[in-house]
Amino acid sequence: MSDHNHNAADSNEASSDDTMTDASFDGIQQHDHPLPKWWIWLFAGCLIFAPPYFWYYHNGTEGRSLADQHDQLMAENLKLQFSQMGELKADRETLLRFTYDDSWLRVGRSIFKTNCVSCHGRDGVGQVGPNLQDDHYKNVTDIADILRVLENGANAGAMPAWKSKFSTNEIVLVSAYVASLRGKSDGTGKPAEGREIAPWPPAPPQEASAEEPASQG
């Protein structure tokens, strides 16, 4: 009986034969120490954890798949991005307000980077699509026209209509970013196309941005 009650501390007393199993393999002997308790519990814990985990994620309940979780995070993220501005209208005043709002321009920039650079190049220097940094425009005479081009497309579909792919807020923010690109040219971009147009109107009076905190509630 006693050989089963030895604790691990005895392991180095190789001479104490009562902890030794009887067999020897090519001179190799083995103690008969019990399993380490922590290891048993670790293994058992992992084993016990497994079925509930599997059941939780795969019993068919909505919202637990990776895709669902991603969509929820994405929705929350959009909400965060837009909760501060509410539902925007795609009109001239709104666009002007955001064209001069640096903190929102970076949101427009990130949408532009994912969707527009393949034609308009990095920072709108122009590739297939026209250069957006110079003073020449093909389908724009007033700043509000940017919104229309984005919504409905232009040049017989070469510029796609984005209305179905973007929310109105996104259309405003991308338009604002595009408008803000004007005048950033360093001369290395695509040559100018279209007519030269008048500069954008100045920033609207400050009270417009004072509304923002009110819409947060």
Partner 1 sequence: MMRDGASEESYSYDDTIVRCFLTVTLLWGFVAAITAALVTSTLLHPRQDAAVEWLSFGRLQPVGVWLFFMAFIGNGVFAGIYYSTQRLCKARMWSGALSWLHFFSWQAIIIAALVSLPNGITQGRGFSEAEWPIDLAMTLVWILFFASNFAMTLSHRRLRRMYVSLWFYIAAVVGMGLNSLCTLFVFPTGLWKSDSLATGMQDALLQAWYSHNVTLFLLIMPALGLAYYFVPKVLSCPIHSYKLTIVSFWTLTLVGVWAAPRLLHYTVLSEWVSSLGMLFGILLGVAVFGGVTNLLLTFRGTEVEKSTNASMRFLKWGVLLLGVYACEEIALSVKSIRAHVDYSEWIIAHSQLGLMGCGGMLVIGMAYWMIPKLFETGIASSKAVGLHFWLAAVGVLLCVLPGYAAGFVQSGVWNAMDDLGILKYDFAESTPFLKMMWSLQMLGGLAYFVGLGVMLANYTKTWMNRAKPYQVPVYHVEASAKQNRPVSTPEPVSILEAAPVLNVAKKVDIWTRLNWHQRWEQSPLKIAVLVALVMLLAFTIEVVPLFVFAGSNVPKIASVQPYTPLELMGRHIYLTEGCVKCHTQMVRPLMPETKRYGEFSQPGEFVYDQPAQWGNRRIGPDLARESGKQTSFWHWQHLASPRKTSPDSAMPSYRYLLDRPIDIEQVDELVQAARERGVGYETDLAEVKNSVSKQAESVAAEIVSKGGTVRRGNLMTFDSQAVALIAYLQRLGADLSAPPAAKTKPAVVGKESTARNMKASQTTTIPSHPELIMTVRNFDMDEMFTALP
Task: Name the site residues for partner 1 (rule: CB under 8 A).
Answer: 1, 4, 8, 11-12, 14, 20-21, 23, 25-36, 39, 42-43, 46-47, 49-50, 53-54, 57-60, 62-63, 65-83, 86-87, 106-107, 110, 114, 117-118, 127-128, 164-165, 167, 169
What residues pair up with 196 in beta bridges, in sequence order? 136
State the distance between the two ends of the chain, measured CA to CA, in whole angstroms: 74
Q: How far is the CB of 207 from partner 1 (least distance, A)?
A: 24
Q: Among residues 75 and 203, whose Cβ is nearest to partner 1?
A: 75
Q: Among residues 139 and 168, whose Cβ is nearest to partner 1?
A: 168
Q: Among residues 140 and 181, whose Cβ is nearest to partner 1?
A: 181
Q: Among residues 74 and 203, whose Cβ is nearest to partner 1?
A: 74
Q: How far is the CB of 134 from partner 1 (least distance, A)?
A: 19
39, 44, 46, 49: CA torsion to nearest 10: -150
* Token pair of 93 as six digits: 């005043």
Q: Among residues 37 and 205, whose Cβ is nearest to partner 1?
A: 37
Q: How far is the CB of 66 from partner 1 (least distance, A)?
A: 5
Question: To 10 degrees, what angle do helices 102-115 and 92-99 make?
Answer: 100
Q: Which residue blocks in 116-181 are alpha helix, DSSP H?
A: 117-120, 144-152, 168-181
Of 159, 157, 164, 176, residue with least CA distance to 111: 176
Q: How far is the CB of 205 from partner 1 (least distance, A)?
A: 26
Q: How far is the CB of 4 from partner 1 (least distance, A)?
A: 8
Q: d(Cα 53, Cα 30) in Å, to the nearest integer?
A: 38
Q: d(Cα 111, Cα 124) in Å, to the nearest integer?
A: 13
Q: How far is the CB of 171 from partner 1 (least distance, A)?
A: 12
Q: Among residues 57 and 201, whose Cβ is nearest to partner 1?
A: 57
What residues pair up with 137 in beta bridges, in sequence order? 195
Instruction: Tokens 């970013």: give the residue.
Output: 177
